[in-house]
Amino acid sequence: MTSFFNTKKVLVAGGAGFIGSNLVNRLLSLGANVRATIHKREPVIIDDRIEYIRCDLMSMEDCRKTVAGMDYVLMCAANTSGAAVIASTPLVHVTSNIIMNSQILEAAYFAQIKKFIFLSSNAAYPPSGDKPVTEKEMFDADPYDIYFGVGWMKRFTEILCRLYSQKLKNPMAAVVVRPSNIYGPYDDFDFATSHMMAATLRKVIERHDPIKIWGTGQDIRDLIYIDDFIDGLILAAEKLSTFDAVNIACGKAYSLKEILRMALEIEGYKNAKITYDSSKPSMIPMRLIDIKKAQELLGFTPKTDIYDGIAKTISWYKQVYLPESKDKKEKA
């Protein structure tokens, strides 16, 4: 990484979340002057160099306060949850996120921010079967029905980014990053709100018997380790100077059954009983993501092998949530 962010004033909206926490850490290492928003959660990265602002981005006044004096804004704040919540309450991610995204974009524009980076989602893409989806296909058709609300919320915000970057007299550079499924340290491991990878790893670590899996286990996902995603996010923020959208993903895909097999092997959990509940929502059956644009425009290449990424995540989880396992290892 270059010294692009050295001494720059950077706002990370959503500084206590999974992506935000890892991003704050990286920006500090790059010499940035970091401000981060927190809402209900307490921050997990404790460092005197971070200026935390407790606020509610549903409030325009708070949005204006947080962006004041900043050079760059990275919008990681969002109302998020896992498959169960989306399936049972499809509107949960619509209104609040549209308000937050719209208001912080407007506040950033009038504060004359140099560049705004928005985290979109691969769930906003239409079905693409076994073909890796490219950036230009986003608006070719509706998203999967299960993601219709959240998908169009993300699409609407992407249109707003284009508006601020291309359609106004005094434009503000706005960049859209579309991640694949991210996993790693500081992820949400709460079963009520977690995504597939975090929930699966926790079940293995805690030796659930049986390990209950939603769907058939055949769903295919592109999974990217958080450090690799932050690499791509930083590159996009640095190198893209006007409106553009770019996929940041691993470029490889694995079934849930494969993920589970690797996790069991890493944990040494032998003869685990696994049950599959096909009555539960499986969300997207297959999502392959094309990363050629990121490779060509940004020089982005993911570095972390899926097996190594799972091992690192399991190790982090045990150190943070199961300190007794760390003590046993040190005494051995």
List, for residues 252-269, the tens digit of each pLDDT value: 999 999 999 999 999 999
Tell me the percentage of the chain whose pLDDT exceeds 70. Answer: 92
Domain assignment present for 80 = yes
The mean per-residue pLDDT over the stretch 232-256 comes to 96
Is residue 15 within 8 A of residue 47, CB to CB? The reply is: no
Domain assignment present for 72 = yes
Write out the residue range of the structural domain in which residue 75 sits: 9-186+222-250+288-304
Domain assignment present for 137 = yes
Binned at pLDDT 50, 70 and 90, residue 103 comes out as very high
List, for residues 21-36, the tens digit of each pLDDT value: 999 999 999 999 999 9
Domain assignment present for 274 = no
Give the whole-angstrom CA distance, residue 104 versus residue 109.
8
Residue 332 is predicted with a pLDDT of 39
Give the whole-angstrom CA distance, residue 77 versus residue 261.
33
List, for residues 154-193, the tens digit of each pLDDT value: 999 999 999 999 999 999 999 999 999 999 999 999 988 8
How is residue 286 annotated by DSSP?
Answer: B
Give the whole-angstrom CA distance, residue 164 versus residue 170.
8
Cis ω for the linkage preceding 210 (within 30 of 0) = yes
User: Domain holding 125: CATH number?
Assistant: 3.40.50.720
Domain assignment present for 168 = yes
Residue 327 is predicted with a pLDDT of 46
Q: How many domains in the chain?
A: 1
Domain assignment present for 269 = no
The mean per-residue pLDDT over the stretch 318-326 comes to 78
In Å, what is the CA distance from 193 to each residue of 13, 146, 187, 223, 246? 20, 16, 11, 18, 27
Binned at pLDDT 50, 70 and 90, residue 331 comes out as very low
* 25-29, 86-90, 300-304, range with the lowest pLDDT: 86-90
Domain assignment present for 126 = yes
Binned at pLDDT 50, 70 and 90, residue 324 comes out as low
Q: What is the reported pTM?
A: 0.93
Domain assignment present for 180 = yes
What's the token pair of residue 97?
């996120």
Residue 266 is predicted with a pLDDT of 98
How is residue 276 annotated by DSSP?
Answer: E
Identify which of 73, 83, 72, 118 has the alpha carbon closest to the alpha carbon of residue 98.
118
Angle ∠(9,15,17) on CA atoms, nearest 5? 155
